[in-house]
Structure 1
Amino acid sequence: MTAALNIAFEAPDVIRAPGSSKTRPVDLIAIAVQTRGDKGAELELLQGFARQARGCLLTLSAGSSQAETRQAATRLRNSALTVGALDVVTAAELIETKGVTPDTVASVSAAVLAAEHFILKLAR
């Protein structure tokens, strides 16, 4: 009987709680820590990331040289790390390792688009 009661009242094992920052395109907790909770600074940081990400996407899709492409991918990865956009980081790392292909550019574009939509929703 005690074993059944222990099981009934134990906390469930939860790896990722719904709504945790790991399920969002941007880690709001990391940004809040960086900006010390200043909402204006948070929004400015996020909008700066979105602008830089769009610029990097232009470079990646413009058929630039190998060096420019690698620099754009690295700049995008570092910028994404700053705001905790882990999907963008992963996609940018694909470009750094595999180079610019239609698939890698599509992965980066999709990740950046998801992050940008999330940022736009926050800015409302």
Structure 2
Amino acid sequence: MASKTAAEVQASTPANEQGPSGNPVDFEHLARYTLGEPELEREVLGLFCSQSVLLLDQLRAAKSDEDWKQAAHSLKGSARAIGAWRMAQAAEQAEALQGDGLSELRSARVDEVEASLREAEAYIATVLESR
């Protein structure tokens, strides 16, 4: 039996739960880059999950504006690449925080990025298990 692509699994999800305001990952967007190849989707999603955790650690540990901006920018790009729009938005908001006296705001943004990452990871795991 052939494996379903992530886009096919997502297509079976109710329409009101799809897209930028629905699922944590837009698999239709991802399929444009992976040509709908299930193994490539799996590899890209695995890289996203492992690298995002490292980048989140870098964001949390950032000591300078440049370190902060670089980590947030990388998280934003990774999220956009797979269609994790909520995470991309959280990372974009984090990236905009630069300057002194922002530690409380930065901490809140890290929490938002982490929450959206955890949501994306859980959704990815669910989709991959259903294949």
Please, what TM-score do these two structures have when normalized by structure 2?
0.76
CA RMSD of aligned residues (A): 1.7
Equivalent residue pairs, number: 109
Q: Which residue of 2 aligns with 1:93?
A: 92
> 1:39 is aligned with what amino acid?
P
Residue correspondence of structure 1 range 62-73 to structure 2 within 5 A: 62-73=61-72
Deviations 1:46-78 (A, max 9, x none): 111111110111011124322111101001101
Q: Which residue of 2 aligns with 1:102?
A: 107
Unaligned runs of at least 5 residues, structure 1? 1-15
Question: Percent identical across equivalent pairs?
Answer: 31
Farther off after superposition, 100-109 or 59-68? 59-68
**CA distance, structure 2, for counterparts of residue 19 and residue 25 of structure 1:** 9
Q: Which has the larger radius of gyration?
A: 1
Q: SS at the partner of 2:24?
A: coil
Pick closer, same or farther for the CA change 1:72–1:51 going to 2, 3 Å.
same
Pick closer, same or farther for the CA change 1:86–1:105 going to 2, 3 Å.
same
**CA distance, structure 2, for counterparts of residue 64 and residue 46 of structure 1:** 29
Unaligned runs of at least 5 residues, structure 2? 1-13
Q: Give runs of ≥4 in structure 1 deviating > 6 Å.
A: none
Contact 1:87/1:111 (8 A) holds in 2: yes
Q: Does 1:21 align with 2:26?
A: no
> 1:19 is aligned with what amino acid?
E
Q: Does 1:118 align with 2:123?
A: yes
Q: SS at the partner of 1:112?
A: helix
Contact 1:47/1:119 (8 A) holds in 2: no
**CA distance, structure 1, for counterparts of residue 83 and residue 121 of structure 2:** 13
Please, what TM-score do these two structures have when normalized by structure 1?
0.80
> 1:53 is aligned with what amino acid?
S
